[in-house]
Amino acid sequence: MTIMKTYFNAKNDLSFLPREEIIKRQTKLLNQHIRYTREHSAYYRRTLAHLPQKDITIEELAAFPTTSKHDLALYNDEFSAVPEQDVTDICFTSGTTGKPCRIFYTKRDIDRLSYNDMLGFIAAGITPFDKVLLTCTIDCCFIAGLAYYGGVFKLGAAAIRNGLNTLESHAGIIRNEKPGAIVGVPSFLVKLGRYLQEGGMDCSSIRTLVCIGEPVRNRKMELTPLGEKLQAIWPDRFYSTYASSEIATSFTECSARCGGHPPGDLAIVEILDEQGQPVPAGQTGEVTVTPLQVTGMPLIRFRTGDIGFIIDENCSCGRNTLRISPILGRKSQMLKIKGTTLFPNSFFIVLDSIDSIADYYMEVSGSALSDEVELFVAFSRDCADSAQISELLYAKTRLHIPIHTVSEAEAKARIYGSSRKPVRFFDLRENNL
């Protein structure tokens, strides 16, 4: 069996090369990836049979069929490209959209993940001399937790794997170990920062926050209400990331904080319209990724279901790769309410701006003709005012949405009950059952 051989280390990062050289090397890696995938993946051997077996340019990739989450779930076993004994790790998609399915990783894929996140940590300013507090876990098939740990290890820094623990536990580690960086979900990092402030704790050692799972900037690269809360506590110290289990690749902001950089040797990124055609830089569409140098479950033109756009401008950090915008929403989560089409984030931005709200989630039901939305809100103190929240939401969306008050414990159980990342959108629509 032919296996692509590349040793992953920081010297392989193509990002600082001239754009022409990046494209040249990406093209070579893309053709290696396609040849490997056609040879070893039963799914692609079947679906690419009508295409000639010849080297292509990156632009010609648009002639290849896309791969959806539904394809991955329906033909799951056909995507495996290695014998079972070569599988090192198995994880499952979160199930927040579509049918959960298995993702296979080889030892080489895990090394690739570590290399990917090492580059992301370097972009965010983390050094080999740092201690990095990981507030996300490796258990429950959460591949990102493994990737973060591997990235810290490969960088040569020290990982503190405290995971989803109490505020008191994290505070004790920060007091005693003085980490230089923290990796975590932004909404949790806000709670942690406030807890540390209220306790008068010195947090000056923390120079970097790597934010996962929730956007902190909008399409204009301005801070969201959640980002503004982070800025008030950790000014100019946080960096956003984007990733998914299927693409085994993450995109991390650099010092410019103006979009996430994909590692030049690990991914080809396209933005597609409703017809599956690539759109120009700056135009919104579905983020579609061909993850390069994957051996366990290689994918070609994987449609992530996430909505964003490409930024094709020189970056002040010196990297010459394209950047990806903040994720604006999920295609499957688009809502149709009384003739109005919008994403859940339109509601979440308002809720994030209200200090008295401790947590929240949304449930959506109804038929294909119109969606019915309900919001469940937990308040942090005894000043609940659902009427005022309803007015703020109406001003933003022009919609009146039922709001139910729940306890913080109830909200936490619902939001973290099925995933290691916060899940605030629950799709109960008839066409999604």
**Same domain membership, residue 187 and residue 70:** yes
322-350 tens-digit pLDDT: 999 999 888 888 888 877 778 888 899 88
Same domain flag for 226 and 341: no
CATH code: domain of residue 354:
3.30.300.30
Q: Are residues 339 and 316 in the same domain?
A: no
Q: Which CATH number does the domain housing residue 71 bear?
A: 3.40.50.12780
Tens digits of per-residue pLDDT, 233-281? 999 999 999 998 899 999 999 999 999 998 999 999 999 998 889 999 9
Both 302 and 338 in one domain: the answer is no
Whether 376 and 361 have beta carbons less than 8 Å apart is answered as yes
Q: Are residues 320 and 347 in the same domain?
A: no
> pLDDT tens digits for 371-412?
889 999 998 876 667 888 888 898 888 888 899 999 999 998
Q: pTM to 2 decimals?
A: 0.85
Query: Domain check: are 306 and 389 in the same one?
Result: no
Q: Are 243 and 256 within 8 A, CB to CB?
A: no
Same domain, 261 and 354: no
Q: Are residues 297 and 340 in the same domain?
A: no
pLDDT(428) > 90: no
Query: Which domain does 116 fall in, by range?
Result: 1-328
Cα–Cα distance list, 161 to 150, 179, 244 (Å):
11, 12, 21
Joined together, the tokens standing for residue 205 give: 């050692």
pLDDT of 6: 53
Do 159 and 222 lie in one domain? The reply is yes
Count structural domains, the chain.
Answer: 2
Whether residue 417 is found in the same domain as residue 271: no
Contacts of residues 311-319 at CB distance under 8 Å and 24 or more positions apart, as own/partner, are: 311/258, 311/259, 311/281, 311/282, 312/281, 312/282, 315/254, 315/256, 315/258, 315/259, 315/261, 316/255, 316/256, 317/123, 317/254, 317/255, 317/256, 317/261, 318/16, 319/15, 319/16, 319/123, 319/254, 319/261
Whole-angstrom distance, CA of residue 284 vs CA of residue 290:
18
* Last residue of one domain, picked from the residues 301, 328, 355: 328
